[in-house]
């Protein structure tokens, strides 16, 4: 059973605390993604699980094995943790052929030649590199080199794979293709995958569950991709998962009003005692009209982006991004020009206490 269990894991370098008291459980067979901004401690966490570093405090279990425990000093070396690792830099040996790169871990482990050859060829086929086994890495594309790294991580038949931004050096098309391949491999091999990335789209596309870390290395939310995107727990999460609009709203008596301008809020009201609120919504959740119910705004800038129109709308001093399907805009007389008045309504919104806004810089 390739589960991962972190309990109270911290990692410090001198005075600098990167991770603090982290608790996390990854289930067997799961594709679990750690998503967070650059520099938040994702690679450090992966290196702790892999065993390239030891936690300053806390413990790590893989399956039933305690592989690291700061309290007792237990630390199991990386090659005894039954896992494969792929890092962002291709990290394949430039002087070795594809075959030798992939076979290296088996050679180290003393696997007899005959078995080695069959396992290497099997793994090379698995990552779609058949026919290329005699090539040197310099004779391969970036995507192929990363497949070599994948094959080398898989050849020992680990039950756990740790992937650290393995696709970020690839171009957009290849990145998309390879993320499906990784998912397919995971199902085919029935392994547990822990994937680390700063890319929201990849995380949403491949994960069974996602843990989102903030810039300080703290986990802010764990959930399915749908939960993370549709039910963000706070405004940090909402902001982190895509283009975000925030509209300040204040309570006066039993009424709710927008910003300082005083337009009454025409939508369902927030539940709670706070006075200062913020309505958070995506550009695609804005309905823009020429008249009818909604908030009055002014189109400050209209940009034609092909499939959709990107309007920057001002409502009482707050600027909002909206995106309208171009065909719909043409059919419904919604091709606004700069300076025209408009009405703004929302399909979907999240209410957050305005106090939480400070940290997202909105
Ligand atoms: N060996 C080290 N010594 C000191 N600081 C380190 C070391 N490794 C990582 N850090 C620091 O830990 C923080 C997180 O780094 P990292 O895990 O690489 O971030 P990312 O989320 O981008 O992978 C950074 O501030 C980095 O400078
Ligand atoms: Mg990193």
Domains of the chain by start residue, with CATH: 4-235 (3.40.50.300), 236-360 (2.40.50.140)
Within 10 Å of residue 285's Cβ, how many Cβ atoms? 16
CB neighbour burial string for 135-165, b if at least 16 within 10 angstroms, e if fewer? eebeebeebbbbbbbbbbbbbbebbbbbbbb
Is 15 close to ligand 1, i.e. is its CB under 6 Å away? no
Per-residue pLDDT, 359? 58
DSSP string, 144-191: HHHHHHHHHHHTT--SEEEEESTTTTS-HHHHHHHHHHHHHHHHHHT-
pLDDT in tens, the chain (362 residues): 799 999 999 999 999 999 999 999 999 999 999 999 999 999 999 999 999 999 999 999 999 999 999 999 999 999 899 999 998 776 789 999 999 999 999 998 899 999 999 999 999 999 999 999 999 999 998 888 989 999 999 999 999 999 999 888 788 888 888 888 899 999 999 999 999 999 999 999 999 999 999 999 999 999 999 999 999 999 999 999 999 999 999 999 888 999 877 899 999 888 888 899 999 999 999 999 999 999 999 999 999 999 999 999 999 999 999 999 999 999 999 999 999 999 999 999 999 988 877 655 44
Ligand 1 in contact with 44 (CB < 6 A)?
Answer: yes
Q: Is the pTM for the entire model greater than 0.95?
A: no
36 alpha carbon – ligand 2 mean position (Å): 10
Is residue 74 a contact partner of residue 66, using CB atoms and an 8 Å limit?
yes
Kindly give the distance from the C-alpha atom of residue 40 to the centroid of ligand 2, in angstroms, as a whole number: 8
Q: Whose CA is nearest to atom 20 of ligand 1?
A: 39
Ligand 1 atom nearest the C-alpha of 41 is 17
Tell me if residue 234 falls in helix, strand or coil.
coil
- pLDDT at site 360: 56
Q: CB within 8 A of 70, min separation 6: which ones?
A: 54, 55, 56, 57, 58, 59
The CB-based long-range contact list for 63-67 (8 Å cut-off, 24+ gap) reads 63/1, 63/2, 63/3, 63/159, 64/1
Q: Residue 44 has what pLDDT?
A: 96
Tell me which of 9, 12, 13 to substitute to probe ligand 1's pocket, judged by most ligand atoms within 8 Å of the beta carbon: 13
Say whether 255 sits in a helix, a strand or coil: strand
Report d(CA 3, CA 64) in Å as an integer: 8
The answer to whether residues 92 and 133 touch, using CB atoms and an 8 Å cutoff, is no
Pocket probe for ligand 1: among 14, 40, 41, the residue whose CB has the most ligand atoms within 8 Å is: 41
Identify the pLDDT of residue 259.
84
d(CA 272, CA 61): 41
DSSP string across 115-155: HHHHHHHHHHHHTT-TT-TT--GGGS-HHHHHHHHHHHHHT
Q: Mutation test of ligand 1: which of 14, 16, 44 has the most ligand atoms closer than 8 Å to its C-beta?
A: 44
Nearest to 323 by CA among 342, 343, 340, 302: 302
Ligand 1 within 6 A of CB of 13: yes
Nearest atom of ligand 1 to the alpha carbon of 196: 23
CA 200 – CA 180 distance, rounded (Å): 15
Residue 345 confidence (pLDDT): 96
pLDDT at 67: 98
Residue bearing the CA closest to ligand 1, atom 8: 44
Distance CA 209, CA 226 (A): 9
Q: What is the pLDDT of residue 362?
A: 41
Q: Which atom of ligand 1 is nearest to the CA of 42?
A: 21
For ligand 1, atom 17, which residue shows the shortest CA distance?
A: 41
- Ligand 1 atom nearest to 16, measured from its CA: 5
**To test ligand 1's pocket by mutation, which of 22, 35, 43, 218 has the most ligand atoms within 8 angstroms of CB?**
43
Minimum CA distance residue for ligand 1 atom 27: 39
CA angle at 52 for the pair 46 and 53, rounded to the nearest 5°: 85
């Amino acid at each position: 059973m390739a589960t991962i269990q972190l309990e109270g894991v911290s990692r410090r370098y001198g005075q600098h605390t990167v991770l603090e008291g982290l608790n996390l459980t990854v289930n067997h067979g799961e594709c679990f993604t750690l998503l967070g901004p650059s520099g938040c401690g994702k690679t450090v966490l992966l290196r702790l699980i892999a065993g390239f570093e030891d936690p300053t405090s806390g413990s790590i279990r893989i399956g039933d094995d305690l592989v690291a425990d700061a309290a007792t000093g237990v630390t199991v070396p990386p090659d005894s943790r039954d896992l494969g690792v792929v890092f962002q830099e291709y990290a394949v040996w430039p002087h070795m052929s594809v075959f030798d790169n992939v076979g290296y871990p088996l050679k180290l482990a003393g696997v007899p030649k005959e078995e080695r050859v069959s396992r290497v060829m099997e793994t090379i086929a698995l990552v779609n590199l058949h026919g290329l086994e005699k090539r040197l890495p310099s004779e391969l594309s970036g995507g192929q080199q990363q497949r070599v790294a994948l094959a080398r991580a898989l050849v020992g038949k680990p039950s756990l794979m740790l992937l650290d931004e393995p696709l970020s050096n690839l171009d957009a098309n290849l990145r998309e293709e390879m993320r499906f391949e990784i998912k397919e491999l995971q199902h085919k091999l029935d392994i547990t995958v822990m994937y680390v990335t700063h890319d929201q789209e990849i995380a949403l596309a491949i994960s069974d569950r996602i843990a989102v870390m903030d810039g300080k290395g703290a986990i802010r939310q764990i959930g399915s991709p749908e939960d993370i995107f549709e039910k963000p727990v706070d405004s940090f999460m909402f902001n982190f998962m895509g283009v975000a609009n925030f509209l300040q709203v204040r309570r006066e008596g039993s009424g709710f009003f927008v910003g300082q301008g005083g337009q009454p809020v025409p939508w369902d009201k927030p539940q709670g005692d706070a006075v200062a609120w913020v309505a958070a919504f995506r550009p695609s959740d804005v309905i823009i009209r020429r008249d009818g119910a909604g908030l009055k705004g002014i189109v400050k800038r209209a940009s034609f982006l092909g499939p959709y129109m990107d309007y920057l709308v001002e409502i009482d001093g707050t600027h909002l991004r909206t995106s309208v399907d171009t065909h719909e805009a043409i059919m419904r007389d919604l091709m606004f020009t700069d300076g025209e008045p408009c009405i703004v309504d929302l399909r979907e919104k999240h209410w957050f206490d305005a106090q939480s806004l400070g940290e997202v810089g909105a």
